[in-house]
Structure 1
């Protein structure tokens, strides 16, 4: 079989304007809860796309840690590639893909750092080894080999033990959505797409897009 012959016809559900909440955050919460109940692998995993100074996008998978009416929150190294790109261009796109439910959610908007207090609270709630890894790794920079990375971790472990201060270069981001799209796979590629756009008055405009 060639790659071009690989295809799946989506048959599980449909999505109409009457099925969706007027508030896209409420709608996302509904779909996220359904992904949890369906035991979708890592339902909190999302693609995060940023754009560099050269105008070229880059993407990676991260884990969302919170969402509410303020936006969608994750935590990372501020000096990583994505962090440096967000410093220059504070806009990003998120993508959730719940293949078991034949669903996607696309989210676009402006990104800002969360407060130091919020970053500190989450950092100290992480497993100790994850905290040490955040201290040990200069994310996105070059390193000679795996042993060198493990040596940095061992050094951090010996220095801090269970008492791990949050590095100043590590913390949270929150994307404040301006566009949210819900995609439901359908037969024969006639997929359902319901898009929300934030208007200047702060209200969400809901529309159907062609697949």
Structure 2
């Protein structure tokens, strides 16, 4: 392999763009997240709603993947997927999950942990029909996370569905819809020089948010 251990070990970046103090953050973590999210959008970062989403099965074996955030408010953070996917099956077994947003150009990270619930059918259907028709057909055609013999199986299925629904609405698959993560922990991380990063942690305790600084 061309990349040596020493080369990888010496990859590092000194963060100097900003700081984060307890006095800087809002008492409400959702308002603080909205502030940072807007700044990521205004900085024209590539897909600022990209997040790493982590689940675990009943045995505690974790898995993670990249997803897109599709909404948030004080009830939680919303995304959509196939209920029969690996993450969907793990969430059915263990509805605890975590999200991580990393906005590298701003030297910022947000970690979110909490409990997952499904959105109601009406909300999932409304979002499904707001998507481009090609995405609707793609979601219908794909048995997400299942083993398939080749790509042609998917492409053939898309061709059939495209013809079938060329002049009518694509129904939302019953195994596709939304989830909401209701957080009990949200942490805001701002990169600082010499790895002395700022970490401001919000933890839900008896219906209130307790704010603490964590060591980097």
CA shift for structure 1 position 53: 2.6
TM-score of the two chains, using structure 2 as the length reference: 0.96
- Equivalent in the alignment of 1:86: 91
| 1:98-131 deviations in Å (ceiling 9; x for gaps) | 0000000000000000111100110000000000
Instruction: Name the structure 2 match of 1:147.
Output: 152
- In 1, the alpha carbon distance for the partners of 2:153 and 2:38 equals 41
Deviation string, structure 1 residues 54-95 (Cα, Å, up to 9, x no partner): 311000000000000000000110110000000000010000
Alignment of 1:194-209 (within 5 A): 194-200=200-206, 202-209=207-214
Aligned pair 1:178/2:159, yes or no?
A: no
Alpha-carbon distance in 1 for matches of 2:147, 2:121: 28
Equivalents in 2 of 1:21, 1:137: separation in Å?
42
Query: Alpha-carbon deviations, 1:151-205, whole Å to 9, x = none?
Result: 11112212222420000000000000000000000000000000000012x1100
Distance, in Å, in 2 between the alignment partners of 1:53 and 1:16 is 38
**TM-score in terms of structure 1 length:** 0.98
Q: Any stretches of 5+ residues in structure 1 without a counterpart?
A: none
Q: Please give the secondary structure, in 2, of the residue aligned with 1:168.
A: coil
How far did residue 149 of structure 1 move?
1.4
RMSD: 0.8
User: Paired residue for 1:166, among 158, 163, 172?
Assistant: 172
SS in 1 for 2:201: strand
Unaligned runs of 5+ residues in structure 2 are: 1-5
Figure out how many residues of one structure are paired with residues of the other and give that number. Answer: 210
100-109 or 150-159: bigger deviation: 150-159
Q: Output aligned runs, 1:17-32, within 5 Å.
A: 17-32=22-37
Match of 2:195 in 1: 189
